[in-house]
Structure formats: C-alpha cells, structure tokens
Amino acid sequence: MREVRWVLIFMALMVAFGVAIAGDLIEVKNLKVGSGRPYKVAEKSLDVGDVYYIDRQYTIISMPDELKGGTWIMTANDDKHSKGEDFLTFEVTQPVTVYVLHDSRGEEEKGGTPPEWLSKNFEKVEGWKVEVTDANMGWFNVWKADFPKGEIKIGGNADPPAAGHGSNYVVVLFLSKGAPIESHGKLPTTWGEMKTK
C-alpha cells in the first residue's frame, strides 16, 4: 500500500511539473532528408493500424508491445534506393533508443543483406517483427541502438552492401532507460535514480 501511495505521489508531481509521461511524443528537431522528401514525425504514438509511409497506404498488422507508444518518423518508400551515411539526420533533446524497422527481404533469412551502417551500429532484436499489409515484404525486422542527446545520423536504405530490400525503413524512438526525465519545472530526477531509492 505504501508503494502505491509513492507511485501516485510521483505521478502527480510529474503531471504538476509538466514532465513527459510514457506515451508522450519525444521532441525531434531539424529533421533533414537527403532526397528532400517531406518525412515527418507522426502526430501520434505508434500503434497497430497505423500507415507508416508518407507515400504509401500500407499499415501495421501486428508488432511487439514494446514498440507500441513510440515516437516515429514516417519515411518515404520511394527512398528505398537511398544512399549516404547521413541520409536521414535529426536532433533529440534527450538520450533515446532508436529502433529501425528494416525490410525483412534485405536480411539473411530471405537471402538479402542489410546496409553496413545498420549491421555495424545497431543490434538486431531477435524474435521481433512488425507485420504489415505490404504482402511482398510481409514484415519488418527490428534493429536498435542507444544514442545520447544531440544529432542522430541514419544511413541510406541501399547503402552497401545492402541487397534484397524492396521497401524503405521506418524509425521509432523511445527515451533510453535511465535517461533524465525532461522537466518543464524543477524535477531533475532520473528514472534510474527513482528505481534505486
């Protein structure tokens, strides 16, 4: 009972000080795309049924619960042949975990190869897949990496030695575990500190 009371007090303080709560969108600034196409941060958190490209009507059929509620960048499927190690750049004001949803056709299980920036800088999350209405692809595989606050660079979908892909990636963001909570008041506590007290 005592723990429940502390949780309620903590949540009330978070609301009072305007702190971001799970499900709130992460602030993404200075979104730049090598192709000049108008990528955008979705206006709502990621969920089943969402259209994930700016230029196609494919939707998400199923996904791991851990990805639901994330802030996500709607990309263009017409950029599936994009190249350049900084093809997509943006800034975040807090440390984040970046998830790249990558076309399963461009990976070993379907005879493909992911781009080097993805296989070198991200870790594939085994067993996670995002099923979609694009019947040719079937599903995205999921890769993740942690980044500090500041600028984040994502390479082109077709950067060498990429092969086999037929669709572009999608980017999903979550606050890193233990990241400081962005406060609009005077509450400089981190989730990690709260868990240890």
The two tokens of residue 106 are: 């461009």
Q: Which residue, 67, 69, 20, 66, is CA-closest to 179?
A: 20
Quote the domain boundaries for residue 8: 1-19+181-197
Q: Categorize the per-residue pLDDT at 21 as very low, low, confident or very high, splitting at 50, 70 and 90.
A: very low
Q: Nearest 5 degrees, angle CA 129-CA 169-CA 151?
A: 115
What does residue 190 show for φ and ψ, rounded to 5 degrees?
-105, 160
Let me know whether 12 and 92 are in one domain.
no
129 DSSP β-pair partners? 141
Distance CA(37)–CA(34), nearest Å, equals 8
Asked if 107 and 114 count as a contact pair (C-beta separation under 8 A), the reply is yes
Asked if 169 and 102 count as a contact pair (C-beta separation under 8 A), the reply is yes
Element (H, E) at 45: none
131-178, pLDDT tens digit by residue? 999 999 999 999 999 999 999 999 999 999 999 999 999 999 999 986
Let me know whether 136 and 156 are in one domain.
yes
Let me know whether 8 and 70 are in one domain.
no
Distance CA(23)–CA(62), nearest Å, equals 18
How many domains does the chain fold into?
Answer: 2
Torsion sign across C-alpha atoms 185, 188, 194, 197: negative
Let me know whether 163 and 97 are in one domain.
yes
Let me know whether 11 and 63 are in one domain.
no
22-69, pLDDT tens digit by residue? 457 999 999 999 999 999 999 999 999 999 999 999 999 999 999 999
